[in-house]
Amino acid sequence: MVLVLGGASIAVAAADLGIITGGEKGTNYQFGLNLQGLAKQKGMSLTVYPSRGSIENVFAVYQQSATQLGIVQSDVLAFVSRVQTDPVLKRIAKKSKMVFPLYNEEIHILGRAGSSAACGTAASRSDGKAAGNI
């Protein structure tokens, strides 16, 4: 997960920021609330907006003036930055900047016992080390 900033919104007063996160029952919404608490300690106002996920967040940071920050999955951000065929996504990529990574994501793969998919060897992590047996 990464925190992104919409370039067109930088002129907004630092005391009035908005962040779009994820569903109200999810981890990213809680991250938004935690950031809101930190901002309040520094005399800033951060409004936390729930969403349906990363894709909505990318567009909100680009389109909504009250939303300068968004929490986005790193693979979604990477996709947006690489697409060269869609003019809207190209504009979004040019006007959005990653602020900082929040945490590494884990991917869990489950399979039915006895199936050929569940009889694998060790899974590998993004750093090339074995993650454990499946």
The pLDDT of residue 129: 52
- Condensed to tens digits (0 to 9), the pLDDT of residues 71-83 reads 999 889 899 999 9
Q: pTM for this structure?
A: 0.72
> What would the mean pLDDT of 26-47 be, rounded to a whole number?
94
Contact 15, 44 (CB under 8 A): yes
Nearest CA to 6 among 122, 106, 99, 113?
99
The pLDDT of residue 47: 97
Q: Output Rg (C-alpha) for the chain, integer angstroms.
A: 18
Under the banding of pLDDT at 50, 70 and 90, the label for residue 21 is: very high
> What would the mean pLDDT of 112-127 be, rounded to a whole number?
58
5-19, 51-65, 106-120: which is most confident? 51-65
The pLDDT of residue 62: 93
